[in-house]
Amino acid sequence: MQYRTLGRTGLQTSILGIGGFHLVEISFADAQALLHRYLDAGGNYIETAAQYGDGESERKVGAVMAQRREECILATKCHVRERDGAAAIFAQSLRNLQTDHVDVLFMHHVQTMEELERILAPDGALRAAEAARQAGQVRFIGISNHGHPELLIRALEVYPFDMVMTNFNYYDRFNFPLIEKELLPLALERGVGIVGMKAIADGFLWRSAEAAFRYAWSLPIHVMVAGMNTRELLEKDLAWADGFTPLSEEEQAQLLWAPELGRTVCRQCGECLPCPEGIDIPRIFTLEGWYDRQMWDGVVRDPGDYWMRQTLRFWFMNEERARAAYAALDIRADRCTQCGECEPRCPYGLPVVSRLAHAHYKLTAERNV
């Protein structure tokens, strides 16, 4: 197993972490067996949350921590935003985990600026985390988020978080480009530990799972957490972690043609510009990515693929934020005259004109074709 230094924490973490969300889906015995096998194989980052199964995931992890607490970096998360409630939740987390301390306490799933302000307030959840750190119950404080890098960038600017946790995969990199362009460099500059999740985009990249993990591990993140709820999945992920080699430049270029991206997802290269009408085409597709990860494209597919896309498209619950940002644009996609100048410029063959119309419909519910 390969290891990396987890930012300024100085902790040495295995590049593969095990996440607790999917432990809720299996029995106590199976969960314990997987956790023991993971630790035996050299994995040492275990992450869970109070919200997973109302403490069930923590209790399953705790049964193993009662025996092997010193063998791992243990992280949990608190979803309550106020100080007193957060303190009570965290006290229960320690009981569930059968330990007197965790290495990392994350502010869980902080999705709006209002939530960030609430946890930062004098009576906010961060005050409970700081008190727990002062008492020796927490070593480091982090924040997690799904598909909203602007919020995490702001969080690092206003508070010295030790860790950030967000999604890193070769599909969503184009829906949330600031994750790699701005958040990742900022976190590295400040010595913040970087915990990745969703390497296979919530399962969307299941056909290309090994390539997806290699992509994520080739980024300067410190650990990629995966939800492994079967022995088969665990063994595959362990083997990929043990044999990991960074993607070459050629392999990274090949991923731009990955089948999941197809002729649907804008790669944010900017070759389509300038538009005669002044439309910022890549920006509009970014907002479509915020809205539904560019998953509903109007293409008829087999039922399994259709239902996966329908299930995952609103996973991050960013629809209102996307529509508000689109409404604020000076020039929207409905200014398109369908001149078609952009389409021959797109290296990936996207039908830009019809894609713009579809994005406009999703972001406004107004049809213009």
Domain spans in the chain, listed from the N-terminal domain onward: 3-254, 281-364
Query: Does the structural domain 3-254 have CATH classification 3.20.20.100?
Result: yes
**Residue 224 to residue 195: CA distance in whole angstroms:** 6
Residue 106 has pLDDT above 80, yes or no: yes
Gap between the Cα atoms of 210 and 16, Å rounded: 13
Residues 86/129, Cβ–Cβ less than 8 Å: yes
Contact partners, residue 207, CB within 8 Å, separation at least 6: 259, 260
**pTM over the 0.85 mark:** yes
- Give the pLDDT score at 367: 56
Amino acid identity for residue 121 in this structure:
A
Alpha helix locations (H) across the chain? Answer: 28-40, 56-68, 83-97, 113-120, 125-134, 149-158, 178, 184-189, 209-218, 231-242, 249-255, 281-292, 303-312, 319-327, 352-364
Average pLDDT over residues 212-239: 97
Distance CA 350, CA 298 (A): 13
- pLDDT tens digits, residue range 65-103? 999 999 999 999 999 999 999 999 999 999 999 999 999
Classify residue 338 by burial, with Cβ atoms within 10 Å: 0-12, 13-18, 19+: exposed
Q: Is the pLDDT of residue 221 over 60?
A: yes
To which residue do tokens 């990745």 refer? 196
What is the residue type of 264? Answer: T
pLDDT of residue 299: 83
- Asked if the bond preceding 274 is cis, omega within 30° of 0, the reply is yes
Q: What is the pLDDT of residues 325-365, one digit of tens each?
A: 999 999 999 999 999 999 999 999 999 999 999 999 999 98
